[in-house]
């Protein structure tokens, strides 16, 4: 009791201080903020039915290459109208201010000293050429711009010509290895090995920004390959920190590559590389289109972003339940038990960076405060992202825009995709997220790891996210700046539905949005046949969000679509070993064998030594072969790599869903049907039928069925062909 009293005495003054800070926060310096939102102009949007992979891309009438000193296209080729507001980031990329394109106050102001000389709504910069060198440092590489490359390169330092400009309003970069005699010749390429890398990058973004792309960062990421003679291209539009609109990302990548080819001709091949969002972007661009990528090296990847939200948006709901709503909160202080429900890893005693937020928010909610005694991937990896992706009132980039622009904009991923997914009657972007009928903790119940009472309590009280139009901004104090935000609404609890009577309502996702997500290529359905080496570090013990199981969601979808996964290799390495360079070497052998023999297939061209593998910290192969990753995901006994590097699951898998993670909205069956089928066996639920019907009045998920959000077309799922009463459309 004394310990609890001390906690209250410490936290109460802090709470008063934080509330005062919330009332009297100083305004940010918004000198370069977007002043006014430009009006939307019509632009061609690709017809995505039945799927964009089946739709021919239009001819590009923009004249490539862009000349030095000129600006690239500001409208996309086929991904719809420009999004406004749009914040320019050329200054952050060391390219100076954008070009003036209007004098009506639209977009960001452009200055001459302290005087505004115009405004930029589309953030264009002129195409420029610069020269850089690379040097190896104690920890990695350093790229340095050379002001006088002819003299500065006389010591035989490696030399690179770097071109930067804007295409589709995003900053693009082309890096070409050259020698000192080629300075001043834009087309010279004597040091190029004819292989091209398209660099993708990750992060979480909701649009509305041009993005930052520094030449030095592009170069150091691919330093080893540049020194081996590869050319590298990239764009801020292919960094998911700025958007997950994969149609726009593809459109941009196609044009950036076209700029390269217009200058240097076709490469032997183009291989993608990039981690996290930069990995899933490769999967989707390769699935949705041809002519951009010939091979993929996705790192720390997911199959896509949108099906990841299905379980990621469960995280704060579950944390809110464990912290504030559980009938027996003490039972959930054991983080091993939380793992049973969340699926992703959770560890007792693992510190939380912002663990003090729990007792602070408990105190504000009238509970006895208590510091957390563990941590989970849900918190360590996903905390804050629910608000950023899902809450139209949030958007952590709002400071980049004037107040009236902020107030007139819906800041969410759903809004970023609303021109494709659609909008509701309140002009809010339609959401695909749905948890109707989801029985959280079903596997733990069946395994008798939680009690029937706990199972019922979770599902009665977990609730869901409120409709977009009802959500409110998170209450956050910033006494230490944006790097240390103090959340006064932990887990977004004010945006989570509360019990009406005995049960908190669930959220019904938009089937229209789900259909469009599939058709527009935002969902990875596995239809990729080019070479793939999916590589990652094993980070489960660090509660990193890049969980190993995501590679196997992709594997299952590829197998479902193609009947095999011979083109898909998975590598998992101890965190002390980086397998990326080896992946490039093996991919080169694979693609060159495919290139040099017209009769070879992707499978027959694959090097015999290239197989699923796991690596120890010193780089040695611990195990390799087709069965080394066998485990729960494919219903087999654990293989050597699975034993060495065990994977975890997700909240939806622990609720009975399939391991491929590819279901937005489950078909429902009644409680009576569920009991008759043995869904709860070996647990006897016969005495709890009334309670189950109260919690699940519409029924519970039947994960043996077909996604309700899947378009009615056999392209998307072979099982749809055998499913009665779904009205199959004819295949094209």
Q: Are strands 374-376 and 346-348 parallel, antiparallel or unpaired?
A: antiparallel
- Is residue 154 very low, low, confident or very high in pLDDT (cuts 50, 70, 90)? low
User: Are the beta carbons of 85 and 208 closer than 8 angstroms?
Assistant: yes
Global pTM?
0.93
**pLDDT for residue 18 is more than 90:** no
Q: Tell me, what's the pLDDT at 21? A: 45
Q: Tell me, what's the pLDDT at 480? A: 62
| Mean pLDDT, rounded, for 80-90 | 97
Integer-rounded Cα Rg, in Å, for the chain is 26
Burial 304-321 (b: 16+ CB within 10 A, else e): bbbbbbbbbbbbbbbbbb
User: Are the beta carbons of 64 and 259 closer than 8 angstroms?
Assistant: yes
User: Are the beta carbons of 87 and 397 closer than 8 angstroms?
Assistant: yes
Tell me the DSSP string of 173-196. Answer: EEEEEE-GGGTT-TT--TT--SEE
**pLDDT for residue 1 is more than 50:** no
Measure the CA–CA gap between 149 and 171, rounded to whole angstroms. Answer: 24
What is the percent of the chain with per-residue pLDDT over 70, rounded to a whole number? Answer: 92
- Is residue 366 very low, low, confident or very high in pLDDT (cuts 50, 70, 90)? confident
| Mean pLDDT, rounded, for 17-35 | 58
**pLDDT for residue 732 is more than 50:** no
If you average pLDDT over every residue of the chain, what do you get?
91
Burial 187-202 (b: 16+ CB within 10 A, else e): ebbebbeebbbbbbbb
User: Are the beta carbons of 331 and 324 closer than 8 angstroms?
Assistant: no
pLDDT tens-digit readout, 450-495: 999 999 999 999 999 999 999 999 887 777 666 667 878 888 999 9
**pLDDT for residue 289 is more than 50:** yes
E-strand ranges in 472-537 read 476-477, 486-487, 532-537
What is the percent of the chain with per-residue pLDDT over 90, rounded to a whole number? Answer: 82
Helices 277-288, 246-264: inter-axial angle, 10-degree rounding: 80
| Mean pLDDT, rounded, for 286-314 | 97
Three-state secondary structure call for residue 618: coil
Measure the CA–CA gap between 172 and 233, rounded to whole angstroms. Answer: 7
Q: Tell me, what's the pLDDT at 396? A: 78
**pLDDT for residue 150 is more than 70:** yes
Residue ranges of the alpha helices (H) in 70-138?
A: none
Task: Write out the two tokens for 216.
Answer: 């030095």
The CA distances from residue 670 to 183, 675, 676, in Å, are: 73, 9, 10
Element (H, E) at 24: none
**Distance spanning both ends of the chain, measured CA to CA:** 70
Domain boundaries, the chain: 52-267, 311-495, 668-701, 708-732
Measure the CA–CA gap between 456 and 690, rounded to whole angstroms. Answer: 11
């Amino acid at each position: 009791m004394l310990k609890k009293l001390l906690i209250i005495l410490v936290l109460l003054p802090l709470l008063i201080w934080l509330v005062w800070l919330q009332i009297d926060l100083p305004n940010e310096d918004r000198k370069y903020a977007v002043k006014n939102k430009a009006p939307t102009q019509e632009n061609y949007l690709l017809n995505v039915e039945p799927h964009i992979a089946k739709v021919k891309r239009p001819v590009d009438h923009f004249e490539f290459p862009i000349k030095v000193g000129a600006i690239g296209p500001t409208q996309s080729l086929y991904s719809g109208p420009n999004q406004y507001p749009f914040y320019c980031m050329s200054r952050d990329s060391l390219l100076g201010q954008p070009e003036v394109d209007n004098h009506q106050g639209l977009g960001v102001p452009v200055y001459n000293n302290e005087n505004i000389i115009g405004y930029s709504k589309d953030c264009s910069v002129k195409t420029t050429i610069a020269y850089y060198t690379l040097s190896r440092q104690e920890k990695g590489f350093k790229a340095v711009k050379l002001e006088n490359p002819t003299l500065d390169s006389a010591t035989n330092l490696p030399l690179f010509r770097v071109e930067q400009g804007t295409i589709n309003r995003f900053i693009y970069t082309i890096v070409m290895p050259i020698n000192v005699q080629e300075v001043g010749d834009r087309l010279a390429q004597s040091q190029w090995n004819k292989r091209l890398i398209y660099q993708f990058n990750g992060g979480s973004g909701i649009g509305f920004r041009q993005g930052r792309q520094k030449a030095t960062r592009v170069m150091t990421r691919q330093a080893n390959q540049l020194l081996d003679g590869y050319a590298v291209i990239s764009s801020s539009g292919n960094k998911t920190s700025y958007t997950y609109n994969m149609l726009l990302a593809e459109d941009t990548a196609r044009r950036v590559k076209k700029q390269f080819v217009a200058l240097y001709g076709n490469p032997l091949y183009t291989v993608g590389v990039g981690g996290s969002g930069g990995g899933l972007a490769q999967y989707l661009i390769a699935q949705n289109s041809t002519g951009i990528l010939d091979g993929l090296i996705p790192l720390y990847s997911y199959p896509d972003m949108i099906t990841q939200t299905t379980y990621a948006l469960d995280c704060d709901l579950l944390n809110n339940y464990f912290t504030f709503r559980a009938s027996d909160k003490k039972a959930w202080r054991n983080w091993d038990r939380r793992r049973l429900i969340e699926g992703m890893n959770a560890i007792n005693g693992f510190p939380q960076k912002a663990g003090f937020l729990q007792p602070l928010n408990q105190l504000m909610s009238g509970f006895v405060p208590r510091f957390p005694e563990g941590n989970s991937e849900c918190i360590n990896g996903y905390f804050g992202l629910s608000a950023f992706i899902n809450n139209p009132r949030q958007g952590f980039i709002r400071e980049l825009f004037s107040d009236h622009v902020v107030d007139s904009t819906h800041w969410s991923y759903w809004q970023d995709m609303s021109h494709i997914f659609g909008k509701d009657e309140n002009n809010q972007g339609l959401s695909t997220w749905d948890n109707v009928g989801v029985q959280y903790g079903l596997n733990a119940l069946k395994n008798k790891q939680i009690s029937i009472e706990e199972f019922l309590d979770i599902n009665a009280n977990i609730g869901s996210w409120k409709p977009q139009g009802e959500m409110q901004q998170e209450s956050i104090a910033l006494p230490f700046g944006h790097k240390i935000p103090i959340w006064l609404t932990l887990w977004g609890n004010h945006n989570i539905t509360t019990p009406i009577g005995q049960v908190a309502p669930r959220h019904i996702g938009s089937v229209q949005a789900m259909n469009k997500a599939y058709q527009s290529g935002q969902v990875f359905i596995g239809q990729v046949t080019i070479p793939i080496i999916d590589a990652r570090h094993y980070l489960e013990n660090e509660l990193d969000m890049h969980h190993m199981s995501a590679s196997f969601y992709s594997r299952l979808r590829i197998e479902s679509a193609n009947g095999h996964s011979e083109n898909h290799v998975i590598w998992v390495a101890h965190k002390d070993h980086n397998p990326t360079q080896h992946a490039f070497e093996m991919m080169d052998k694979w693609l060159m064998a495919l290139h040099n023999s017209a009769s070879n297939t992707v499978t027959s061209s694959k090097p015999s030594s290239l197989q699923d593998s796991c690596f120890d910290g010193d780089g040695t192969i611990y195990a390799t072969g087709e069965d080394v990753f066998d485990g729960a995901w494919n219903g087999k006994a654990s293989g050597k790599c699975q034993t060495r590097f065990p994977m975890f699951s997700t909240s939806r898998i622990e609720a009975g869903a399939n391991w491929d993670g590819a279901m937005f909205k489950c078909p429902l069956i009644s409680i009576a049907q569920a009991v008759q089928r043995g869904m709860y066996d070996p647990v006897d639920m016969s005495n709890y039928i009334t309670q189950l019907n109260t919690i699940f009045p519409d029924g519970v998920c039947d994960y043996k069925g077909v996604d309700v959000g899947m378009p009615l077309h056999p392209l998307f799922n072979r099982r749809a062909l055998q499913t009665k009463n779904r009205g199959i459309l004819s295949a094209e």
